[in-house]
C-alpha cells in the first residue's frame, strides 16, 4: 500500500488525508484494493458510528479511491474489494435518523454504489455486485433504494439474466412502493415469468398510482407477457387493457398489446368489440389498429365475420382516406376467407366503383341481404342490381344500361370523389405522385391539366361506361407483367424492407436536369410519431430508379397485372416522361427491358438515404411490415424522451471555434440534448462565448464532416445548419458521433413535427 495511504488509514490522520489528492492516479492504483480492505476494518469497529474523525478519514479515502478507479478504468481489478466493503455495510444500521440524515454506513454504501453500478455494462462487475445490490432494496433507506433502482434498471438493459434470479425480491419491492423498478420487469420476464405472473393482479392494481413513465413500463411488461401466449395472463390482461383504452396517453400502446393477443387468441376479444367500437368513435386516429383487431376476430368463423364486417364497412365510408386501404384489406381478407358472405359478386363490388363511399354502400347492402344468403333467387336479383348500379359522384346509385365498369383497386379514388372532378393538388409543374395509404400506399394523384395530351385523353375518357377489363387490353406491359407477376411481387417485398417507398413524389426542374422531390411519412402515426403531420423530404438527382421502385411496389399490392391504361401506370409514365432524355427508352419499354432496377442504382439509392441520415429517423418494422419512424419503432424511448427536461443524450463534444477549415481550434464543452434545444454548460473562462442554445426547430440539416473513405466507416465530426448559422462538433469516437447524429436528427424531427401539429391544431 502506498506510504501516504498507510499513514492516513493506519493512524487515522485526518490532517494528511487531503494530501491523497496531490498524488497521481497511476501512483496509487496498485494500492487501492489493500486500502479498501483497511477501510472495511475501520468501518466495522464498534465505535465507528460515533467517531467523527474516523468517519471523515473514511469518506475522504473512499472519494480518492473511487476517483482513481474511474480515471484508471480499473474497476474490474478492484471490484471484489469494493463489493466486499459494500456488503459489510449491510451488517449495520442504514435507516436515516429523524432528521433524514444518512447513517455513516449508508454514506459509505451510497458512495460505493455509484462507483460500482455506473459500470452496468461490464458483466464481470455486475456478476459480483447485483446479488449484494438487491439486498439494499429492503433496508429501510428510501434514498438509497431509489438510487439503487435507477442503476438496476440500467443493468437490466445489458445483463438482464443477472437480475432474473432476484425477480421475486424486485417484485416485492415494487409492491412496497418502489415503482421505479417496474422498468426492470420487461427485461427479466422471459427468464423468470412465474414470480411476476403470481403477482400480476397486484401489479396491475398499481396503475392508477403510477406516474406516466412507470405506467408505460407496466404496459411494456404486459406486451412482453402477451407474446408468450399464456392463457392465464391473457385473462388478467384484457379487462385491464380495455379499461384503460380511454386514456389517450397510452391507448396506442395498449392497442399494440391487444393486436398481439388477437393474433393467437382472437376469441378472447370478441365480447369486448362493442367497447372497442366506442373507443374507435372517440379516437378516430386509432381506427387502423382497431381494424386489425376486428379483422382477427372476423377470421374465427363465419358468424363472427358477419358481426365484425358492419363496423369495418361503416368506417370505410366515414374515415379519412389514409385509413381506407387498411380497412379495405381487412374487409377483403374476411370476405375471401368466408366467400359465402358476398358470393360471386364480391369481385364486382370491389372493382365497380372509384369511390370508397360507394363500395361501402354496396357492401352494406350485400351484408344486409345475405343475412337472410340461402335463397338463390335473391342472389340472382342482387347480382342483377349490382350490374345495373353504378356510383355517381356523391355516392348515390344511378341506373345504367351497360355492364359495370372494371376499375382495379389501384384506381379507386381515396378521397371519395368522382372521376370527373379534379381533386388532385400538385405543385406548379404538375408532376406529382401521392400514396394515400398508411401502410399500403397505392393511390396516385396528378394535375390533369398539366398532363401530356395522350394521358389527358385517357384520363378524361376512362369512365365506368367505357373502360375495359385489364384482361382485355393485351398490351405488351400487361402481358410482360402477367408472365413475371410472382417474381415482381417477391422482389418488391424484399426490396421494400431495404428501401422505403415515398408517400409523395414531385418532379422539379433544376439547373442541370430534373430532380425528384420525395416525401416520406410514418405508417403507424402513433402518439409520439415524428412524421404524422410533417414529412421527411429527400431531393434525388436520379428520379428514374425511384419511379421504377414505385412502379414495382404498385404492382406488388394487387393480384392482377397492371396495364399501360391503368391510371397508376399512366401517372408514373407522366413522371418518367418528364425525366426522359431525348432518344431514351419510353416508360413501358424501360419497365419491360429491365423489370428490376440495376443493383448499382439500388446501392446508390441506399447510399443517398444513408448520407441524408434517413435511417436515423426511420426503420423497417418486421412486425408491422412497414417503415415506421424512430419513436413508433421504439415506443419505450418515446415516453422517457417526452418527459419535460429529460435528456435524449448528453456528454462532452468538441466545438470548432473558428469557421476556417485550416484553423483547427476546438473547445470541449458538456452538451445536453433535451426538449427543443441543444444546450451547453458555460465554462468559467471569460473567453467562453455567450452563445444561445441551438433551437432544434430551426435546424435545417445535420451533415457529416469527413473525407470519403472506402470502408465508409463513421466519421467523428458533424455540422449543424440553422437558418442563420452553422456549428461544427467532434465526438470522442465514431460510435459516439453516430449516437449524437441519430439523437439530434430524432430531436429535430420531433421539434418540427410538434410545430406541424400546433399549426394544424390552430388552423
Please write the tens of the pLDDT for every residue from 265-314.
999 999 999 999 999 888 888 888 899 999 999 999 999 999 999 899 88
Q: Which residue is it, cell 418486421?
A: 622
Q: Is 643 helix (H, G, I), strand (E, B) or coil?
A: coil
Q: What is the rounded average pLDDT of the residues 205-227?
A: 90
Q: Radius of gyration (Cα) for the chain, nearest Å?
A: 33
Residue 455 clears pLDDT 70, i.e. is over it: no
The pLDDT of residue 346: 60
- The three cell numbers locating residue 79: 471490484
What is this structure's pTM? 0.52
Q: Report the alpha-carbon distance of residue 516 to residue 272 in Å, rounded.
A: 47
In 3D space, the residue among 436, 405, 458 whose CA is nearest the CA of residue 328 turns out to be: 436
Residue 262 clears pLDDT 80, i.e. is over it: yes
Q: Which residue is it, cell 402477367?
A: 482
CA atoms in the 13 A half-sphere facing the CB of 744: 30
- The three cell numbers locating residue 126: 455486475
Q: Cα 758 vs. chain centroid, distance in angstroms?
A: 21
Q: Report the alpha-carbon distance of residue 746 to residue 763 in Å, rounded.
A: 26
Helices (H), 618-694: 630-633, 635-641
In 3D space, the residue among 270, 443, 434 whose CA is nearest the CA of residue 354 turns out to be: 443
Residue 99 clears pLDDT 90, i.e. is over it: no
The pLDDT of residue 704: 80
Residue 311 vs residues 248, 288, 362: alpha-carbon distances, Å: 22, 13, 14
Q: Report the alpha-carbon distance of residue 295 to residue 292 in Å, rounded.
A: 5
Q: What is the rounded average pLDDT of the residues 690-716?
A: 67
Residue 414 clears pLDDT 50, i.e. is over it: no
Q: Which residue is it, cell 473567453?
A: 687
pLDDT single digits (tens) 618-632:
999 887 788 999 888
Dihedrals phi, psi of 442, to nearest 5 degrees: -155, -5
Residue 538 vs residues 518, 597, 629: alpha-carbon distances, Å: 5, 19, 15
Q: Report the alpha-carbon distance of residue 627 to residue 497 in Å, rounded.
A: 8
Q: Please say whether the beta carbons of 249 and 527 come within 8 A.
A: yes
Q: Report the alpha-carbon distance of residue 454 to residue 199 in Å, rounded.
A: 70
Q: What is the rounded average pLDDT of the residues 705-720?
A: 61
Q: Report the alpha-carbon distance of residue 694 to residue 80 in Å, rounded.
A: 45
- The three cell numbers locating residue 275: 367497447
Residue 31 clears pLDDT 80, i.e. is over it: yes
Q: What is the rounded average pLDDT of the residues 583-598?
A: 90
Residue 528 clears pLDDT 70, i.e. is over it: yes
The pLDDT of residue 462: 36
The pLDDT of residue 340: 84
Q: Report the alpha-carbon distance of residue 71 to residue 67 in Å, rounded.
A: 6
Alpha-carbon torsion angle 351, 353, 357, 360, nearest 10: -40
Confidence of residue 10 (pLDDT cuts 50, 70, 90): very high
What residues contact 78, with CB distance under 8 A and at least 6 apart?
32, 33, 36, 65, 69
Q: Is 520 helix (H, G, I), strand (E, B) or coil?
A: strand
> Of the segments 52-56, 251-255, 642-646, 758-762, which one has the largest average pLDDT value?
52-56
Residue 643 clears pLDDT 60, i.e. is over it: no
The pLDDT of residue 659: 56
pLDDT single digits (tens) 110-156:
889 888 888 887 889 989 999 999 999 888 888 888 888 888 877 77
Residue 427 clears pLDDT 50, i.e. is over it: no
The pLDDT of residue 317: 73
What residues contact 29, with CB distance under 8 A and at least 6 apart?
68, 72, 74
Dihedrals phi, psi of 660, to nearest 5 degrees: -70, 135
- For residue 536, give the H/E element and its range: strand 536-540
Q: Report the alpha-carbon distance of residue 763 to residue 287 in Å, rounded.
A: 23
- The three cell numbers locating residue 485: 407477376
Q: What is the rounded average pLDDT of the residues 310-334?
A: 81
Please enumerate, as own/partner, the contacts of 485-489 that have beta carbons within 8 Å and a separation of 24 or more: 485/555, 485/561, 487/595, 488/552, 488/555, 488/556, 488/595, 489/555, 489/556
Please enumerate, as own/partner, the contacts of 93-102 that have beta carbons within 8 Å and a separation of 24 or more: 93/49, 94/136, 94/139, 94/140, 94/141, 94/144, 95/139, 95/140, 95/141, 96/141, 96/143, 102/141, 102/143, 102/144
> Of the segments 317-331, 345-359, 399-413, 432-446, which one has the largest average pLDDT value?
317-331
The pLDDT of residue 428: 31
The pLDDT of residue 421: 27
Residue 196 clears pLDDT 90, i.e. is over it: yes
- B/e letters for 189-213, b = 16+ CB within 10 Å, e = fewer, are beebbebbbebbeebbebbeeeeeb
Helices (H), 283-322: 287-298, 302-318
The pLDDT of residue 448: 34
Residue 8 clears pLDDT 90, i.e. is over it: yes
Q: What is the rounded average pLDDT of the residues 630-654?
A: 71
Residue 645 vs residues 129, 168, 673, 742: alpha-carbon distances, Å: 31, 33, 9, 19
Residue 65 clears pLDDT 90, i.e. is over it: yes
Percent of the chain whose predicted confidence (pLDDT) is above 90: 33
Q: Report the alpha-carbon distance of residue 9 to residue 7 in Å, rounded.
A: 6
Q: Please say whether the beta carbons of 201 and 236 come within 8 A.
A: yes
Q: What is the rounded average pLDDT of the residues 671-677?
A: 79
Residue-averaged pLDDT of the chain: 78
Residue 38 clears pLDDT 90, i.e. is over it: yes
The pLDDT of residue 422: 27
Dihedrals phi, psi of 648, to nearest 5 degrees: -80, -35
The pLDDT of residue 377: 39
Confidence of residue 363 (pLDDT cuts 50, 70, 90): confident
- The three cell numbers locating residue 90: 449491510
Q: Is 476 helix (H, G, I), strand (E, B) or coil?
A: helix
Q: Report the alpha-carbon distance of residue 384 to residue 95 in Å, rounded.
A: 85
In 3D space, the residue among 612, 608, 589 whose CA is nearest the CA of residue 600 turns out to be: 608
Amino acid at each position: 500500500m502506498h506510504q501516504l495511504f498507510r499513514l492516513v488509514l493506519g493512524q487515522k490522520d485526518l490532517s494528511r488525508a487531503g494530501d491523497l489528492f496531490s498524488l497521481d492516479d497511476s501512483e496509487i492504483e496498485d494500492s487501492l484494493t489493500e486500502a479498501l480492505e483497511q477501510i472495511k476494518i475501520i468501518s466495522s469497529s464498534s465505535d465507528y458510528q460515533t467517531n467523527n474523525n474516523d468517519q471523515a478519514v473514511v469518506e475522504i479515502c473512499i472519494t480518492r479511491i473511487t476517483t482513481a478507479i474511474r480515471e484508471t478504468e480499473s474497476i474490474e481489478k478492484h471490484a471484489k474489494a469494493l463489493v466486499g466493503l459494500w456488503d459489510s455495510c449491510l451488517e449495520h444500521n442504514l435507516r436515516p435518523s429523524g432528521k433524514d440524515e444518512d447513517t455513516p454506513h449508508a454514506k459509505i454504501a451510497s458512495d460505493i454504489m455509484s462507483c460500482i453500478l455506473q459500470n452496468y455494462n461490464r458483466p464481470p462487475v455486475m456478476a459480483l455486485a447485483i446479488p449484494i445490490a438487491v439486498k439494499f432494496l429492503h433496508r429501510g433507506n428510501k434514498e438509497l433504494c431509489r438510487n439503487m433502482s435507477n442503476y438496476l434498471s440500467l443493468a437490466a438493459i445489458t445483463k438482464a439474466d443477472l437480475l432474473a434470479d432476484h425477480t421475486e425480491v424486485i417484485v416485492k419491492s415494487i409492491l412496497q412502493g418502489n415503482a421505479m423498478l417496474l422498468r426492470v420487469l420487461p427485461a427479466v420476464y422471459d427468464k423468470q415469468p412465474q414470480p411476476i405472473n403470481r403477482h400480476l393482479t397486484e401489479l396491475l392494481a398499481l396503475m392508477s398510482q403510477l406516474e406516466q413513465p412507470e405506467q408505460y413500463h407496466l404496459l411494456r411488461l404486459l406486451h412482453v407477457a402477451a407474446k408468450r401466449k399464456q392463457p392465464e395472463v391473457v385473462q388478467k390482461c384484457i379487462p385491464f387493457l380495455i379499461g384503460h383504452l380511454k386514456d389517450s396517453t397510452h391507448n396506442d400502446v395498449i392497442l399494440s398489446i391487444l393486436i398481439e393477443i388477437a393474433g393467437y387468441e382472437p376469441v378472447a376479444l370478441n365480447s369486448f368489440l362493442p367497447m372497442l367500437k366506442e373507443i374507435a368513435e372517440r379516437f378516430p386516429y386509432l381506427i387502423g389498429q382497431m381494424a386489425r383487431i376486428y379483422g382477427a376476430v372476423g377470421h374465427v368463423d363465419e358468424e363472427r365475420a358477419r358481426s365484425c364486417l358492419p363496423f369495418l364497412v361503416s368506417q370505410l365510408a366515414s374515415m379519412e382516406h389514409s385509413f381506407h386501404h387498411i380497412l379495405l384489406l381487412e374487409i377483403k381478407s374476411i370476405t375471401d376467407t368466408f366467400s359465402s358472405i358476398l358470393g360471386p359478386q364480391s369481385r364486382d363490388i370491389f372493382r365497380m366503383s372509384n369511390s370508397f363511399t360507394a363500395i361501402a354502400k354496396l357492401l352494406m347492402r350485400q351484408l344486409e341481404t345475405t343475412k337472410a344468403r340461402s335463397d338463390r333467387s335473391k342472389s340472382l336479383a342482387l347480382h342483377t342490381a349490382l350490374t345495373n348500379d353504378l356510383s355517381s359522384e356523391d355516392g348515390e346509385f344511378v341506373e345504367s344500361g351497360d355492364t359495370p365498369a372494371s376499375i382495379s383497386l389501384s384506381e379507386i379514388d381515396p378521397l371519395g370523389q368522382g372521376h370527373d372532378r379534379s381533386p388532385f393538388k400538385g405543385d406548379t409543374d404538375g408532376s406529382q405522385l401521392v400514396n394515400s395509404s398508411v401502410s399500403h400506399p397505392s393511390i396516385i394523384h396528378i394535375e390533369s391539366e398539366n398532363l401530356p395530351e395522350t394521358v389527358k385523353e385517357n384520363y378524361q375518357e376512362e369512365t365506368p361506361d367505357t373502360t375495359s377489363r385489364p384482361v382485355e387490353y393485351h398490351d405488351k406491359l400487361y402481358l410482360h407483367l402477367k408472365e413475371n407477376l410472382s417474381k415482381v411481387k417477391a422482389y418488391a417485398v424484399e426490396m421494400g424492407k431495404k428501401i422505403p417507398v415515398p408517400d409523395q413524389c414531385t418532379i422539379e426542374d433544376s439547373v442541370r436536369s430534373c430532380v425528384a422531390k420525395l416525401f416520406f411519412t410514418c405508417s403507424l402515426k402513433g402518439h409520439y410519431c415524428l412524421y404524422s403531420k410533417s414529412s421527411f423530404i429527400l431531393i434525388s438527382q436520379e428520379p428514374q430508379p425511384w419511379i421504377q421502385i414505385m412502379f414495382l411496389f404498385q404492382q406488388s399490392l394487387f393480384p392482377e397485372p397492371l396495364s399501360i391504361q391503368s391510371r397508376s401506370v399512366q401517372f408514373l409514365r407522366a413522371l418518367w416522361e418528364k425525366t426522359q432524355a431525348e432518344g431514351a427508352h419510353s416508360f413501358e419499354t424501360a419497365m419491360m427491358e429491365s423489370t428490376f432496377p440495376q443493383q448499382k442504382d439500388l446501392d446508390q439509392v441506399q447510399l443517398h438515404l444513408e448520407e441524408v441520415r434517413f435511417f436515423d429517423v426511420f426503420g423497417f418494422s418486421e412486425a408491422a411490415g412497414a417503415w415506421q419512424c424512430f419513436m413508433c419503432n421504439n415506443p419505450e424511448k418515446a415516453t422517457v424522451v417526452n418527459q419535460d427536461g429529460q435528456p435524449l443524450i448528453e456528454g462532452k463534444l468538441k466545438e470548432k471555434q473558428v469557421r476556417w477549415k485550416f484553423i483547427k481550434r476546438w473547445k470541449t464543452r458538456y452538451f445536453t440534448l433535451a426538449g427543443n434545444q441543444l444546450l451547453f454548460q458555460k465554462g468559467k473562462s471569460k473567453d467562453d462565448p455567450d452563445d444561445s442554445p441551438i433551437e432544434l426547430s430551426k435546424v435545417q440539416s445535420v451533415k457529416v464532416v469527413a473525407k470519403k473513405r472506402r470502408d465508409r466507416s463513421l466519421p467523428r465530426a458533424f455540422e449543424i445548419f440553422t437558418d442563420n448559422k452553422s456549428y461544427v462538433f467532434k465526438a470522442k469516437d465514431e460510435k459516439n458521433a453516430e449516437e449524437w447524429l441519430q439523437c439530434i436528427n430524432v430531436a429535430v424531427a420531433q421539434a418540427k413535427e410538434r410545430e406541424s401539429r400546433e399549426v394544424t391544431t390552430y388552423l
